[in-house]
């Protein structure tokens, strides 16, 4: 199967539009602490991997700051492009740790070599999928949707394989949308009284 979408600027523009939608939803909700208006306060980002396919929209991540004096709290909405503080794009964290459900072994090795992803980085990503992500509120809430249950040891590959998109890019987008709550300083569940979820 061809994975030309990894070099297709249109795919990254789609991810940007998905992030823009998530950001607009977050901004329209106002400050979760005081109800104040949220003003733009984007974070600069320099994501590693596939820089040639990215435009200037990938130089920042959406974020907001409350306009009310005395509050001024930051609100960083969910993202399908950036996985928390990870410096590689979310799609690479998914595909390079997904195994057979994402890329063939050969294509995966080629990407790892081409992007110069250190073995320690891959090990950290695998640790996150198998030790950190399963304990998040996001996964605890979503895992019941998948029957039979997805073994933690097979994340994220089997999870990617369970989505119904006709193409790999569609399934990747579905997976990135599902895990987006773990990329934010404020998840939807927090509005119900929980604490901010961090990554």
Confidence at residue 73, expressed as pLDDT on a 0 to 100 scale? 94
Whether residue 2 is predicted with pLDDT greater than 50 in this model: the reply is: no
Q: What is the pLDDT of residue 199?
A: 30
* 170 in any annotated domain: yes
Range of the structural domain that residue 32 is part of: 4-185
Whether residue 40 contacts residue 64, with contact meaning beta carbons closer than 8 Å, is answered with yes
pLDDT at 103: 72
- pLDDT, tens only, 15-58: 999 999 999 999 999 999 999 999 999 999 999 888 889 999 99
Percentage of residues in the chain with pLDDT exceeding 70? 89
72: left (phi over 0), alpha (psi -120 to 50) or beta: left
The model's confidence at residue 116, banded by pLDDT at 50, 70 and 90, is: confident
Assigned domain for 55 exists: yes
Query: Which residues face 38 on adjacent strands?
Result: 66
Decide if 129 contacts 199 (C-beta within 8 A).
Answer: no
Instruction: Please report, for residues 7, 30, 93, 104, the alpha-carbon distance to residue 133 in angstroms, rounded to integers and kept in the order given.
Output: 28, 28, 13, 24
pLDDT bucket at 191, cuts 50 / 70 / 90: very low
Token pair, residue 22, equals 């998530």
Looking at beta carbons, which pairs linking 55-61 to residues 24 or more positions away fall under 8 Å?
A: 55/9, 55/12, 55/13, 57/13, 57/16, 58/12, 58/16, 58/89, 61/19
Kindly report the pTM of this predicted structure.
Answer: 0.87
Q: How far is CA 1 from the centre of its chain?
A: 24
Within a domain: residue 64?
yes
| pLDDT higher than threshold 90 for residue 109 | no
Q: What total of structural domains would you count in the chain?
A: 1
pLDDT in tens, 92-102: 999 999 876 66
């Amino acid at each position: 199967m061809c994975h030309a979408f990894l070099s297709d600027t249109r795919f990254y523009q789609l991810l940007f539009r998905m992030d823009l939608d998530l950001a607009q939803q977050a901004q329209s909700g106002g400050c979760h602490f005081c109800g104040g208006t949220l003003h733009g306060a984007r974070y600069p980002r320099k994501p590693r991997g596939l820089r040639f396919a990215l435009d200037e929209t990938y130089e920042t991540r959406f974020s907001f700051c409350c306009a009310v004096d005395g509050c001024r709290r930051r609100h960083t909405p969910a993202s399908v492009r950036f996985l928390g503080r990870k410096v590689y794009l979310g799609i690479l964290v998914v595909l390079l740790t997904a195994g057979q459900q994402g890329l063939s072994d050969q294509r995966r090795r080629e990407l790892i070599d081409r992007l110069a992803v250190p073995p320690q980085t891959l090990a950290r990503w695998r640790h996150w999928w198998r030790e950190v992500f399963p304990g998040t509120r996001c996964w605890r809430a979503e895992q019941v949707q998948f029957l039979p249950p997805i073994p933690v040891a097979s994340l994220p590959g089997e999870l990617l394989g369970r989505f119904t998109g006709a193409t790999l890019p569609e399934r990747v987008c579905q997976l990135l949308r599902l895990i987006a709550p773990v990329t934010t300083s404020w998840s939807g569940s927090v509005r119900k009284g929980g604490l901010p979820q961090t990554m």
